[in-house]
Amino acid sequence: MEKIRVFIVGAGASGLMAAIAAARAGASVTVLEGMKKPGRKLLLTGNGRCNLTNLDKDLHLRYDSSGTDGAVPFVNSVLQSLDVSGTLRLFEELGLASVSAGSLVYPRSGQAQTVLGVLLAELERLHVKMKYNAKVKRISFSGEKGAWLLQTEGWTYEADRVVLCCGSKALPETGSDGSGYTLAASAGHTVTDIHPALTGFECGDPDVRAAAGARTKAAVKLLADTNNSGLPMTVLAKDTGEVQWTQYGLSGIVIFQLSRYAARRSGGTLYVSLDLVPDQTEEEVRHTLRRMLDHAGDAVGSVSLLNSYTHERVAAYLAKKMADKGTGGGQREEHIARALKNVLIPVTGLKGYDLSQICAGGISLNEVNPETLESLLCRGLFFAGEILDIDGPCGGYNLQWAWSSGYAAGTAASGTPGQ
Ligand SMILES: Cc1cc2nc3c(=O)[nH]c(=O)nc-3n(C[C@H](O)[C@H](O)[C@H](O)COP(=O)(O)OP(=O)(O)OC[C@H]3O[C@@H](n4cnc5c(N)ncnc54)[C@H](O)[C@@H]3O)c2cc1C
């Protein structure tokens, strides 16, 4: 019997996993990749160490989608094909030993290259055909040939099944330039609004930018002033971690996590609030500052006192804000403690696709079967990975989505017609 011809578009995390699943299930598999090499983005993950999944027992609850039903039921269904422990077993079988740091899982080698290497070795073992510099420009179904046609610059391929694993628009230099959305739309699919996510916050205030290079531990909140009416504001998200002060504003994992909640937001003004001494109450900070002042005398500068608690550039920023605002009476230690515990910075924008790790938005989940990831509009067309309207936080969640959805789509795409 002729093997089913499955074509995977994109050799990123989801495409490589889809190809393995389809070939293991008996299909003849070809991967078409637009770049010269596979897995460009995968190699950059986790700062080159690849945080490949997360042991969070509530992992499925952490994903988001623009759709009214959210992402959870869809993700739950896809995880039935390959969950976290199944993923780790699969990688181990392929030759990848992993290690966890808290709930974050990395290859023991500490190299993303090892993850890519074991995937490629398995594809070779399974005789999957890899075509590079093969950017797919057009897909269409030919009733006459009874096949999908995939057009690249130099060739038109015929496929029984197609799995679109083209990623998003995040970091387009890695090959995921948004062309997957266009291919899906040409097949009649709805693509929801796309926004960069897991990215930095732009802050227009030059005093914030002047602190570039500083890193501060902080409890961070993302606040929305929905009607631009001032306080009280709605808390959209909060987290604690290291904030990196940059030439454009604020960055770091903790800011990236909050950016997912800013991505889909429209209207109103957003603020980041920082508590730069999250492990002490304002009262405790005030008390310590009083003792410092008692010892050093009132002549001691505010920058110096602020610098006892935070990076000198941030101390200079806070001192300037305090001077701009004026003290309005009260003790010095009160003002300084308040300044450290309640930093409020307006967000003027999100960094763009060039700096974002993922995109929020994608192919609408309403048009995709959550068990097989097959299009509900076009038989024989499947999707996996970030191209779908699902996004997760930093910490291995997005790669787990790529592995699970790739496995589910690849397996289903190699099934007999009508399955
Ligand atoms: C710097 C950075 C660090 C990250 N770190 C982590 C991490 O540690 N852990 C984690 O879970 N997630 C991380 N992520 C997110 C994670 O890498 C992505 O969510 C994941 O790689 C998406 O996989 P994908 O297969 O859907 O898309 P991609 O990995 O983007 O792969 C898509 C592939 O399709 C190809 N392609 C696109 N269009 C076409 C076309 N028309 N024809 C042919 N080929 C095409 C592209 O060239 C690309 O190779 C990180 C992202 C970035 C940018």
- The sign of the CA dihedral 238, 391, 42, 172 is negative
CA torsion, ordered 163, 148, 138, 124, to nearest 10 deg? 50
Confidence of residue 327 (pLDDT cuts 50, 70, 90): low
- Domain extents for the chain? 5-196+357-413, 201-350
Ligand 1 site, residue 196, Cβ cutoff 6 A: no
| Model pLDDT, residue 225 | 83
Ligand 1 site, residue 170, Cβ cutoff 6 A: yes
Ligand 1 site, residue 393, Cβ cutoff 6 A: no
| Model pLDDT, residue 151 | 98
Confidence of residue 196 (pLDDT cuts 50, 70, 90): very high
Confidence of residue 265 (pLDDT cuts 50, 70, 90): confident
Q: Whose CA is nearest to atom 35 of ligand 1?
A: 10
Ligand 1 site, residue 162, Cβ cutoff 6 A: no
pLDDT at 400 over 60: yes
Ligand 1 site, residue 107, Cβ cutoff 6 A: no
Mutation to probe ligand 1, out of 130, 259, 391, 399 (largest number of atoms < 8 A from CB): 399
Q: In the chain, pLDDT over 90 holds for what percent of residues?
A: 88
Burial of residue 97 (CB within 10 Å: 0-12, 13-18, 19+) is exposed
Ligand 1 site, residue 166, Cβ cutoff 6 A: yes
Chain center to CA of 296: 47
Among 9-23, 93-107, 326-340, 373-387, the minimum mean pLDDT is found in 326-340
| Model pLDDT, residue 329 | 66
For the question of whether the overall pTM of this predicted structure is more than 0.85, the answer is yes
- Overall fold of domain 5-196+357-413: FAD/NAD(P)-binding domain (3.50.50)
pLDDT digits (tens, 9 = 90+) for 268-293: 789 999 999 999 999 999 999 999 99
Q: What is the mean pLDDT of residues 207-220?
A: 97
Ligand 1 site, residue 402, Cβ cutoff 6 A: yes
pLDDT digits (tens, 9 = 90+) for 127-173: 999 999 999 999 999 999 999 999 999 999 999 999 999 999 999 99
Q: CB atoms < 10 A from the CB of 79, how many?
A: 20
Q: In the chain, pLDDT over 70 holds for what percent of residues?
A: 96
pLDDT digits (tens, 9 = 90+) for 7-35: 999 999 999 999 999 999 999 999 999 99
235 C-alpha vs ligand 1 centroid, how far in Å? 31
| Model pLDDT, residue 418 | 43
| Model pLDDT, residue 417 | 53
Ligand 1 site, residue 413, Cβ cutoff 6 A: no
66 C-alpha vs ligand 1 centroid, how far in Å? 20
Burial of residue 265 (CB within 10 Å: 0-12, 13-18, 19+) is middle
- The sign of the CA dihedral 379, 384, 387, 390 is positive
